[in-house]
Every structure is written in structure tokens, then in C-alpha cells.
Amino acid sequence: MHEQFATAGPTTGAQESVELRRQLDAERRRYELVESAANDGLWHWDIARDRVHFSPRWKELLGYAEHEIDENINEWLDRVHPDDRERVLSALRAHLEGLTSHFENEHRVMHETGVYRWVVCRGIAGRDEHGKALEFGGSLTDVTHRKVAEEQLAHRAFYDPLTNLPNRALFLDRLRHALRRATRRKDFAFAVLFLDIDRFKVINDSLGHMAGDRLLVMVARRLEISLRPGDSVARLGGDEFTVLLDDIKDISDATTVAERIQKELSAPFDIGGQEIFTSSSIGIACSTTGYQRPEDVLRDADTAMYRAKAHGRARHALFDTAMHAHVLRQLQLEAELRRAVERGEMFVQYQPIVALGEGRVTGVEALARWRSTERGLVEPSEFIPVAEETGLIQPLGAGCSARRASRRCSGAASRAPARAR
């Protein structure tokens, strides 16, 4: 019995060794199969020996053959983009020191072609009973296509597709940052220029939309070269552009840029062999007014632009609080005028037309008048321009004609249309 145990011992040990080797070989083959089938690049860092195994797929993702990458952690770290390197190292140190449960980082790594690829690197450390990291393994995934798609979506969300200038959303965001700086720094000031191309509709309608689009692109390029370094230009839509002048000393800086823009845009544009001349009206709003919201700055610059346009175009105007009060009065007057037309508050007065040489009345002129139930008799010079600007002039005249007909006026007065004067 004793002999049986004595001879059985070594045989059993050898069988166990063979079985162990068989299991290890099977495990290695399974790992190699998974490694070769994985789309991600796999890596394993033996920290004690400071050697790293990079899988063939890992090397392939960066454009290298099997023998071209050494078993050194710097084969990865030295290829990380300089702007991302410190962030990657900080995340690695944090995980190795046990401050994070796992390692995951998105960064750029240089491909063999010299082009940077976006990758996501994930890993987890194996530790001893004291928590010291002994090994570190993980994967590398190429996410360049996703990053490019994200960047394209972000670009479309914040840039105008025609001119490639920032759009309203991005401009307001930059304006919001300027307002914050103005709040923190008493010596910081900025200005917003709101620009409109004079007679753009005439050009667009007469030459076609393609020519109009070409003109807008050319205007965008001229605006860019007219600005100082650090300033921003955006297209809000149509023929409206805005400029953010950052960190100006006083308002004269803004007027100087406005004059430079107007001079630049006054030069002829060559569109399809045809010489086009245009001009711009510019409104200026300065941060010294004390704004809290970016939308308010934009609104006031827009208001100033309309004042410049009203004074003859090809001009620039600086916003003041009286302009805003005037706009509010005009809006209120428009609302009252619409109600006046609906209520039938418009009436006709007749003004005789006299032949002075003959000393006799040859006809009468029917004039529109407004007797408001709230304000009394409103001067024509106050409401006629608003009616013309808002398109109320036709319903106003129709209302006067209806009232005149109801009174059954006769002769020249009944035949003459009511004039808004």
C-alpha cells in the first residue's frame, strides 16, 4: 500500500503539471482569439517590470506593424497630442493612486501618417492587498468619426451655413461672456455694431437670390478684414450682421470701426461680371449703458441702426435711451391706431381747392383724421408715418371712405378718395 502511494505521488504531480499547462495554453489561445477578434486595441502594462503588451489591433489603429512598437508605455504617451497630454497623465496618476475606480479618457493620438486620431482609452488596475497597483490593462477605441460628426453638428448649430460666420446663438454667447467681464472689471468696455445692407432687397430681387447670396458672402469677408484682432462678426440672418468690439477704450473706437466698415463696403462688388455698389447702415450700442442681458444690447444696436437708416442710410448712429423710448411710443401708437381703425375712429375732413385767379372753389380734398376716445384729436403728422410704415395706411383710408359714404357726401368730395395727410 505504501509503495502504491509512493509511486503514485510523482505520477499525479506530473499529470497535474501537464493539465495546468494545457489549461494555460487553452487560456492563452482564448485570449489571442478574443484579442484578434476585438475591434478595439488591447493593452496590458506590467508595472513591476515596466513592460507593456500592445495587441496587434492596438498597433494597427495607429498605423503600425507588429514589430514597429516596443513594449514601452511611452509608445502610447509620447504620441498623445500636446494639448491633451497633461490631462491624460493626471487621469492615469489618479487611478494608479486609487483615487478613481477606473481609468477612462478621450484624447488625440498621433497616427503613423502624422494625423491625430481621436481615441477613448479605458482601463483598470490590478492591486495587491495593500491597494498598490501591480498591473494595468485596458482598451483603445478609435472614435474619430464620432468626434468629426459631433464637431460638424456643433458647427451647424453655431455657424451660418452661407457665410460660415458665427450665427445669432454663438454671437449671443460671446456677448454674454463680454457682459460678465464688464461686470468683473470696471475698466472693461465693449460695443456692438448692428449692420444692415442698404437696398439689399432691390439687389436680391433684380439680380436673383444666387447673386444676393454671393454678395452676402463677399460682405462677410470684407467685414472680417475690417475688424481688429479679437473682435467678432456674425450673421443674424438675411442681410443683417453684428460685430462685437471687445475691450474698447471709449466710444470713438466703435465709431472708427464703423467708418472703416462703411468705407470697405462702399467699394464696388464684382458679381458675375457686373459691378454692384451698396452701402450699410450701422447702429452702435456701448456697454457703458449698463446692460444685464445680451438680448438688450442687440435690441438697442438694432434700434440705433434703424435711426441711422431713417436719416438717409450709409450712416452710423449711437444708441441713446431716447431712441428706446421713441420705439416704445411708436409701438404703443401702432397698437392704438389698429384699434382706432377697428372702432371706426377715423373720419374725413374736407379741404377746399381754390383757384386763386378766379376766386372760386373748384373742388375739395378729403383728408383722413383720427379722433381717439382716449387721446382726443391726434395730429396727422403723428400717426400718418406710423400708418405708412406698418401697412395700416390702406385699411385707414378704406375706413375713412366707408364713413364718408355712409354720410352720403356728394359732388367732388364724394368722388375724391380720402387722403392720409
Q: Are 268 and 141 members of one domain?
A: no
Given this model, what pLDDT does residue 355 score?
83
CATH of the domain at 244: 3.30.70.270
**Residue 401 pLDDT:** 58
39 located within any domain:
yes
Are 302 and 377 members of one domain? Answer: no
Residue 260 in domain: yes
Q: Name the domain boundary from 108, 123, 147.
A: 147
| Per-residue confidence (pLDDT) for residue 6, from 0 to 100 | 42
Domain containing residue 85: 18-147
Neighbouring-strand partners of residue 353: 363
Band of pLDDT at residue 408, cut at 50, 70 and 90: very low
What residue type is assigned to position 92 of the chain?
Answer: L
C-alpha cell at 358: 378766379
Q: Is 197 a domain residue? A: yes
Same domain, 199 and 262: yes
pLDDT at 190: 94
Per-residue confidence band for 407, with pLDDT thresholds at 50, 70 and 90? very low
Structurally, the chain folds into a number of domains equal to 3
**What residues form DSSP beta bridges with 105?**
121
| Mean pLDDT along residues 219-234 | 93
Enumerate the active-site residues: 239
Angle at alpha carbon of residue 312, lines to 306 and 315, rounded to 5°: 70
Q: 103 and 79 in one domain?
A: yes
Q: Is 202 helix (H, G, I), strand (E, B) or coil?
A: helix
Whether 188 and 315 share a structural domain: yes
Tell me how many helices (H) and strands (E) the chain has. 14, 15
Q: Are residues 50 and 33 in the same domain?
A: yes
Percent of the chain with pLDDT over 70: 82
Q: Are residues 341 and 261 in the same domain?
A: no
> Which of 319, 339, 372 is the last residue before a domain boundary?
319
Is the confidence at residue 382, as pLDDT, over 70? yes
Determine, yes or no, domain membership for 66.
Answer: yes
Q: What pLDDT shows up at residue 404?
A: 55
Residue 6 counted as domain residue = no
For residue 4, tell me if it sits in a domain: no
pLDDT at position 155 over 60: yes
Query: Are the beta carbons of 383 and 335 closer than 8 angstroms?
Result: no
136 plus 262 within the same structural domain? no
Which of 147, 170, 201 represents a domain boundary (last residue)? 147
Q: Are residues 97 and 168 in the same domain?
A: no
Grid cell at residue 10:
510523482
Mean pLDDT of the chain: 83
Least confident among 124-133, 231-240, 306-315: 306-315
Instruction: Report pLDDT for 399.
Output: 61
- Mind listing the pLDDT tens digit for each residue in 8-32? 455 566 666 666 666 655 555 554 5
Cell of 271: 458679381
Are residues 218 and 303 located together in one domain of the fold? yes
Report the distance separating Cα 370 and Cα 379, nearest Å.
Answer: 8
Q: How far apart are the first and last CA of the chain?
A: 133
Q: Which residues contact 82 (CB under 8 A, 6 or more apart)?
A: none
Question: Which triple of cell numbers denotes residue 346?
Answer: 377715423
Q: What pTM value is reported for the model? A: 0.62
Q: Is residue 205 part of a domain?
A: yes
* 277, pLDDT greater than 70: yes
Are 221 and 356 in a shared domain?
Answer: no
User: The domain spanning residue 133 has which CATH number?
Assistant: 3.30.450.20
Check whether residue 129 and residue 184 sit in a common domain: no
User: Is the CB of residue 69 less than 8 Å from the CB of residue 109?
Assistant: no
Q: Is residue 115 part of a domain?
A: yes
Q: Taking residues 287-306, what's their average pLDDT?
A: 90
CA dihedral 400, 403, 409, 414 (to 10 degrees): 30
